[in-house]
Chain A
Amino acid sequence: MPISDNVAIIGTGVTRFGEHFDLSYTDMLIDAAYEAYADAGIDPGEIEAAWLGTAFPNLNGLLGDDGTSLSEPLNLPNIPVTRVANLCATGMEAVRAAAMAVAAGEYNMVLAVGCEKMREVSPRGSLVSRHIVETHPVLTKGRTAPGMFAVLANRYFEEYGYDKSTIAQVAVKNHYNGSLNEKAHFRKAITEDQVMKAPLIADPLGLFDACPTTDGAAAVIITTKEIAERLKKDYVLIKGAGVSTWGGYFTVQYREDFDFLGFQATRGAAAQAYRQAGITNPAEQIDLVECHDCFTITELINYEDLGLCERGEGGRLIKEGVTTLEGSLPVNPSGGLKAMGHPVGATGVRMVSEVVNQVRGRAGKRQVRDAHLGVCHTLGGPGVVSAVMVLGR
């Protein structure tokens, strides 16, 4: 059966995100999974299959490279456990794989966990700077994560006439939302002045334009709609799940048909998910969005690629306050990657958890009014992989 309206999420678990020098990869994975079991009201023995999303096992001695990184600590032997990875879309890929297996009719109760331990090494050794010592020996040298998005910011400014003060609004908004979220890495509101005066990382992006390097894990329990109804669970349905790739991790910036103003991967993934969910007018139909604000500029570009506004209008949307918690279309009520932090494999699962709990009306101080239909979006590498998921009742 198709995934739309047939697959239900009945439990979520998210660790506090932050620099967890005192927690191991396994500790976080266990905490997220057991919170999800408790939320779903199920016994771990009911789990029939599991998917583990970890993007960069090399940061912690290759833990997270395979299914045993989940099955051994959770004591789930003799069931299929698969590790998945797809750059920053990894977490949502774990959820999608689990949902597909349920939709296929093969399993009734499955677990998807995203877990990333990034601070076993210094931030320099982490994702932000991986091209310095990893990846292609020559093609990629000089790249850093902020650098690969800063080139979009400068082109975006040139093309549409915005400036750094426009993208600064994204940081102000998401830090404020994060201040309302007890699980966020950063829980402090900031001012535009702080964003503007922060040290530059990759011009025009400064320290407050970037998400931090963070540890965290998130888990969801997935079953069929019938089972969720029968067991009287507080469930939220997957309405659509799209994944798209465009260009290559090393090579996309060499393509003359990449305009550095938007990501075809996001547009492709959104088109798939919206079609499945019956969304024809995203700005009108969607009540909230959790999107991949790895850098402030990325959020504005995501607005456009996700169809929340026309191309070039992303800057206007943030300036007019449309996407604040009180606005007509709140984006990143959780605080986003900017304030939550971005443990890569965990992020997609964490977004799914956020939207599920917003739709359930359980988001506390950051609850979005009338949240019935929400969208999650992750974006991998220099914008070459994207996953979009639509969730609702």
Chain B
Amino acid sequence: MAIGITGFGVHIPRYRLSRSLVAKAWGTAFGPGDRAVASFDEDAITMAVSAVDSALRETDLATPDSIYFASTSAPYQEKQSSTLIATVTGLDRTASTSDVTGSLRAGTSALKSALDSVKAGSSTSSVVVSSEIRSGEPGTDAEQVSGDAAVALIIGSDKVLATFEGVYSISEEFTDSWRVENQPNSEKGDTAFVTAYGYQRIVRDALKGALKKFGLTGADVARVAVAAPDRRSYAAVLGAAGFVAGSYPDDPLLSTVGDTGASAAPLLLVKVLEDAKPGDNIIVAAYGSGNCDVLWFKATDLIDTASKLRNVSKEVAAGRPLENYERFLSFRNVIEQEPLSPYSSLAMLWKEQKQDLRLLATKCKACGSVSFPRQRVCRQCRSLDNYEDFALGRYGTVYTWTSDHLFPNPDPPTAMVVADLDGGGRFYGQMTDAPAKLAKIGLKVELTFRRLHEGGGYHNYFWKLRPIVDQDA
């Protein structure tokens, strides 16, 4: 039975920081283009939810029964992220949940595990989601070359877009970048040494070894997705493996998104899937501190689905420039925000998971009226406890709005909008990912899962609304 990738979803944060803006702030030159910047209300969990949610909503695949979450920037050091992502996106509580972390190639480690679990039959289908928010000390190259993104890949045996054909890995003790406990940003060893003897040597060896194991030459590979920290290293390893021009993107998303750590290889994989043709051999490789995974996929007759889903090209095109560098620093809390300690309750939030995390309204079985927030007594016909869950849709139209200058927000002012949702129900909440001045009656918006505050000392999550990029669609 052929297994492989059956669907995917991509979340690239809307905001882009132009490297020329940063150069102006610091008076030094950085590389070309933009990096993707997670908004102040995003973290690796919220971005993962967005990617998984779109993967499941835009395909008609069965809900996966396992989830792997890969990240080096999870918002909790102790507490599993995959379980929250699974709950929000509607996986069953019997689904297997795992977090894979500690390495910049965690994305492919997770992908290997998911493929193994489906192949072994412990899962019928699995979702692998990589999600990263990466930065560096202000004014450093690391801050500018890194980027933020999440990618979800659905693995299964039904409606496969690209079959899994083989895997090859190298694991060697090598220290090139690291982050010790309680350190916000990673450090890097001597650039000349770690570039030549770390990334370039190990990825070159891994690609060559993989091709040999797979019985392929570079020329046999139509689509290449090799994550790289810089353009020079990228060219070096691709050349050594003998891949031909046109089989790989000229820029491994460094000038549009940035180096997204554990998300980088899955992101490039989706990028090459978008243009793949049936029968194409696809090679994907990820590197992290001496470890390199190389995976081989082959596109099927269903591959043209990849161009229709929420893919990398669509998400790259949806970018919106950040107005200034200071905004970026406040998003990453380098410029600290006013500390707030809003009321929260673990017991309340636990009881309200269906409502607050999954946006399940109640629908009266007697009269059909929909209530959100949930009501036990129907507010039309007063039936008691006679309802079924009704999932709110993700898209809607603004009925009314305001732009509030009192509510504290690192991206002020705060637009609050009331939106009528397609399919029924209404939502009232913050608009995000866009300047408040865009709020207006008739604006098309979508729901997006966000981190609201740190009341109780933990992360409090809920939904906001953001403008959809193509208002005519």
> Counting CB contacts under 8 A, is A155 at the interface?
yes
Contacts of B404 in A (CB 8 A): 142, 144, 146-147, 150, 201-203
Find B429's partner among A142, A200, A256 (CB 8 Å cutoff).
A142
B447 to chain A, nearest CB (A): 13
* CA A254 to CA B361, docked complex, whole Å: 11
Check if A154 sits within 8 Å of B401, measured CB to CB: yes
* CA A371 to CA B37, docked complex, whole Å: 63
Check if B408 sits within 8 Å of A132, measured CB to CB: yes
Which residues A113-146 have CB closer than 8 A to chain B?
128-129, 132-135, 137-139, 141-144, 146
Most buried by B among A134, A135, A141: A141
Check if B400 sits within 8 Å of A155, measured CB to CB: yes
The segment from B68-76, B127-135, B151-159, B413-421 found at the interface with A is: B413-421
Check if B416 sits within 8 Å of A151, measured CB to CB: yes
Check if A201 sits within 8 Å of B406, measured CB to CB: yes
The segment from B82-90, B98-106, B218-226, B342-350 found at the interface with A is: B342-350
A356 to chain B, nearest CB (A): 35
Check if A253 sits within 8 Å of B455, measured CB to CB: no
Which residues B369-396 have CB closer than 8 A to chain A?
370, 372-373, 379
Contacts of B400 in A (CB 8 A): 151-152, 154-155, 158, 260
Most buried by B among A134, A137, A255, A256: A137
Check if A144 sits within 8 Å of B407, measured CB to CB: yes
Contacts of B425 in A (CB 8 A): 254, 256
A56 to chain B, nearest CB (A): 14
B64 to chain A, nearest CB (A): 26
Contacts of A203 in B (CB 8 A): 402-404, 413, 436
B212 to chain A, nearest CB (A): 54
Contacts of A250 in B (CB 8 A): 373
Check if A147 sits within 8 Å of B342, measured CB to CB: no
Given A144-B404, A150-B402: A137 and B342 within 8 A (CB)? Answer: yes
> Counting CB contacts under 8 A, is B205 at the interface?
no
Find B349's partner among A138, A154, A201 (CB 8 Å cutoff).
A138
* CA A254 to CA B462, docked complex, whole Å: 15
> Counting CB contacts under 8 A, is B164 at the interface?
no
> Counting CB contacts under 8 A, is B428 at the interface?
yes
Q: Mark A243-262, 1 if CB is under 8 A from B, else 0.
A: 00000101101111000100
A253 to chain B, nearest CB (A): 4
Contacts of A158 in B (CB 8 A): 400, 441
B162 to chain A, nearest CB (A): 39
* CA A128 to CA B406, docked complex, whole Å: 9
| Chain B residue with Cβ nearest A255 | B426
Interface size on A, residues (CB 8 A): 37
Given A132-B340, A132-B407, A251-B373: A137 and B399 within 8 A (CB)? Answer: no
* CA A140 to CA B433, docked complex, whole Å: 19
Find B373's partner among A139, A144, A152, A201 (CB 8 Å cutoff).
A139
* CA A248 to CA B420, docked complex, whole Å: 18
* CA A260 to CA B399, docked complex, whole Å: 9
The interface size bin for chain B is: 35 or more
B12 to chain A, nearest CB (A): 24
* CA A153 to CA B401, docked complex, whole Å: 9
Check if B406 sits within 8 Å of A202, measured CB to CB: yes
* CA A95 to CA B430, docked complex, whole Å: 38
Check if B427 sits within 8 Å of A137, measured CB to CB: no
Contacts of A135 in B (CB 8 A): 343
B93 to chain A, nearest CB (A): 21
Most buried by A among B356, B405, B425, B452: B405
A289 to chain B, nearest CB (A): 26
> Counting CB contacts under 8 A, is B354 at the interface?
no
Given A158-B400, A256-B426: A139 and B356 within 8 A (CB)? Answer: yes
Check if B343 sits within 8 Å of A151, measured CB to CB: no
> Counting CB contacts under 8 A, is B460 at the interface?
yes
Contacts of B441 in A (CB 8 A): 154-155, 158
Contacts of B424 in A (CB 8 A): 256
Check if A147 sits within 8 Å of B343, measured CB to CB: no
Contacts of A129 in B (CB 8 A): 406-407
Q: Mark B333-347, 1 if CB is under 8 A from A, else 0.
A: 000000011111100
Q: Mark A63-92, 1 if CB is under 8 A from B, else 0.
A: 000000000000000000000000000000
Contacts of A150 in B (CB 8 A): 402, 404
* CA A201 to CA B413, docked complex, whole Å: 9
Contacts of B460 in A (CB 8 A): 137-138
* CA A95 to CA B455, docked complex, whole Å: 38
Check if B405 sits within 8 Å of A141, measured CB to CB: no
Which residues B417-473 have CB closer than 8 A to chain A?
418, 420, 424-430, 436, 441, 452-453, 455-456, 460-462
Check if B403 sits within 8 Å of A143, measured CB to CB: no
B346 to chain A, nearest CB (A): 10
| Chain B residue with Cβ nearest A138 | B462
* CA A150 to CA B428, docked complex, whole Å: 13
Check if B406 sits within 8 Å of A146, measured CB to CB: yes
| Chain A residue with Cβ nearest B392 | A254
Check if B405 sits within 8 Å of A200, measured CB to CB: yes
Given A137-B455, A154-B400: A254 and B416 within 8 A (CB)? Answer: no
| Chain A residue with Cβ nearest B461 | A138
Check if A133 sits within 8 Å of B373, measured CB to CB: no
B117 to chain A, nearest CB (A): 33
Find A137's partner among B348, B414, B426, B428 (CB 8 Å cutoff).
B348
Contacts of A260 in B (CB 8 A): 399-400, 418
* CA A151 to CA B441, docked complex, whole Å: 10
Contacts of A144 in B (CB 8 A): 404, 406-407
Find B416's partner among A137, A147, A199 (CB 8 Å cutoff).
A147
A247 to chain B, nearest CB (A): 9
Check if A151 sits within 8 Å of B418, measured CB to CB: yes
Check if B427 sits within 8 Å of A254, measured CB to CB: yes
* CA A251 to CA B404, docked complex, whole Å: 19
Given A138-B452, A139-B356: A133 and B342 within 8 A (CB)? Answer: yes
Check if B462 sits within 8 Å of A141, measured CB to CB: yes
A146 to chain B, nearest CB (A): 7
* CA A147 to CA B455, docked complex, whole Å: 22
A240 to chain B, nearest CB (A): 28
* CA A199 to CA B413, docked complex, whole Å: 13
| Chain A residue with Cβ nearest B406 | A144
Most buried by B among A132, A150, A154, A204: A154
A224 to chain B, nearest CB (A): 39
Check if B406 sits within 8 Å of A142, measured CB to CB: no
* CA A158 to CA B402, docked complex, whole Å: 13
Contacts of A155 in B (CB 8 A): 399-400, 441
Q: Mark B57-83, 1 if CB is under 8 A from A, else 0.
A: 000000000000000000000000000
Contacts of B413 in A (CB 8 A): 203
Contacts of A128 in B (CB 8 A): 406
* CA A256 to CA B343, docked complex, whole Å: 28
Check if B418 sits within 8 Å of A253, measured CB to CB: yes
Binding site for B on A (CB under 8 A): 128-129, 132-135, 137-139, 141-144, 146-147, 150-155, 158, 199-205, 248, 250-251, 253-256, 260
Task: Give 8 nearest A-B pairs by CB, closest first.
Answer: A150-B402, A138-B462, A253-B428, A142-B430, A155-B400, A147-B404, A203-B403, A137-B344
Known: A137-B345, A137-B348. 17 other contacts (CB 8 A): A128-B406, A129-B406, A132-B342, A133-B455, A137-B344, A137-B349, A137-B452, A138-B349, A139-B373, A142-B414, A142-B430, A144-B407, A155-B441, A202-B406, A203-B413, A253-B426, A256-B425
**13 pairs, CB–CB < 8 Å, chain A vs chain B:** A133-B340, A138-B349, A144-B406, A158-B400, A201-B405, A253-B426, A253-B428, A254-B372, A255-B379, A255-B426, A256-B370, A256-B425, A260-B400
Binding site for A on B (CB under 8 A): 340-345, 348-349, 356, 370, 372-373, 379, 399-408, 413-414, 416, 418, 420, 424-430, 436, 441, 452-453, 455-456, 460-462
